[in-house]
Amino acid sequence: GLQPPVGLPARSRRALRSAPRRKHGWTSAGRAARAWQPSCARGSSRKVTPTSVNYHFTRQCNYKCGFCFHTAKTSFVLPVEEAKRGLRLLREAGMEKINFSGGEPFLQDRGAFLGSLVQFCKQDLHLPSVSIVSNGSLIRESWFQKYGEFLDILAVSCDSFDEDTNQLIGRAQGRKSHLQNLYRIRSWCQQYRVAFKINSVVNAFNVDEDMSEHIVQLDPVRWKVFQCLLIDGENAGQSALREARRFVVSDRQFEDFLDRHSGVACLVPESNEKMRNSYLILDEYMRFLDCRGGGKQPSRSILDVGVKAAICFSGFDEKMFLRRGGKYVWSKADMKLDW
């Protein structure tokens, strides 16, 4: 079977429990005003390195998950050569891992846009780790044949092994089976030597489910379990395209879900607390998004002002990134996968 990379779930869970509890919601405007200032202006002379970057190059998606926090507010996608220029700038600034996300990244040009960036990052930029997060519904075997060798990790989102629950969440396109896709992609990953990951969002509709049996059967290298997150302007608040409040679960419910799955060795939990500022997020214009205030504050684009100037406004918490095990074995060459 596949070996789980470093990052022990038991230890992560302990860290999670000892994390300070939040007494209030974190979408208050007052807090936003206090919190939002460039990292470089807060006396930190230390240079922030964009070691691991999540590039949400499109906001378009064929699914309608009720809690989606990167919604289709624009249909903009950079020309592929501009996206490559930005990726090169990031590489020169120290990037080691890129994750392509959306929206649904396989939607643009039926996966050709994504494939071209994946190949560029591995072949031209020699990035140690190239990964994708997808809902899995649009991936074809021909994509793996063409680009599989350039990809380290493919993460597919799955919140439930009950098709009706997936429908309720909106994690579906029409009545097509999300689960059939998941199993098919898992076998392609094995065939084309791409590490397979699963991402799940614990929400009001799946919070009582026991997914252990299916996860063990699918045997991902990592099963990342997130707590449903509210982001002002995305899935909460007046200007949002989604209203995710009915999906939210308490910290206690999230911990119960983790306890129920404590026997699953590849589980890596991620609470709201850990998730909020420990990712470097680039939007479709290659602007860093600062989530510290509860919404998403964009920086200038790295294509206009360069990485160093833009990253000051990213709100990135490097310590939290390291604490949540953000740096793990992320290259398939180092993973000692037993295919």
Where on the chain is the footprint of ligand SF4 (CB under 6 A)? 61, 63-65, 68, 70, 102-104, 135, 157
Which residues have C-beta within 8 Å of that of residue 8, sequence separation ≥ 6?
Answer: none
- Closer to ligand SF4 by Cβ: residue 103 or 233: 103
Dihedral sign for Cα 246, 247, 248, 253, please: positive
121 included as an active-site residue: no
- Closer to ligand SF4 by Cβ: residue 68 or 194: 68
Strands (E), the chain: 52-56, 97-101, 129-134, 153-157, 195-202, 222-227, 267-270, 280-282, 287-290, 297-301
Catalytic position from the list 40, 65, 121, 291: 65
| Nearest distance in Å: CB 18, ligand SF4 | 29
68 included as an active-site residue: yes
- Closer to ligand SF4 by Cβ: residue 16 or 65: 65
DSSP assigned state of 105: T
The DSSP string of 303-326 is HHHHHHHHHTTS---HHHHHHTT-
- Three-state SS at 107: coil
Catalytic position from the list 61, 121, 291, 312: 61
CA distance 167 to 114: 27
User: What is the largest distance, in Å, between two alpha-carbon atoms of the chain?
Assistant: 53
Provide the residue type at 100 as one letter.
Answer: F
| Nearest distance in Å: CB 290, ligand SF4 | 20
DSSP assigned state of 67: T
40 included as an active-site residue: no
| Nearest distance in Å: CB 68, ligand SF4 | 3
CA distance 299 to 285: 10
Catalytic position from the list 68, 121, 158, 189: 68
| Nearest distance in Å: CB 91, ligand SF4 | 26
- Closer to ligand SF4 by Cβ: residue 5 or 102: 102
| Nearest distance in Å: CB 192, ligand SF4 | 22
In a 10 Å sphere around its CB, with 0-12 CB exposed, 13-18 middle and 19+ buried, how is residue 88 labelled?
A: middle
- Closer to ligand SF4 by Cβ: residue 65 or 89: 65
Write out the catalytic residue numbers: 61, 65, 68
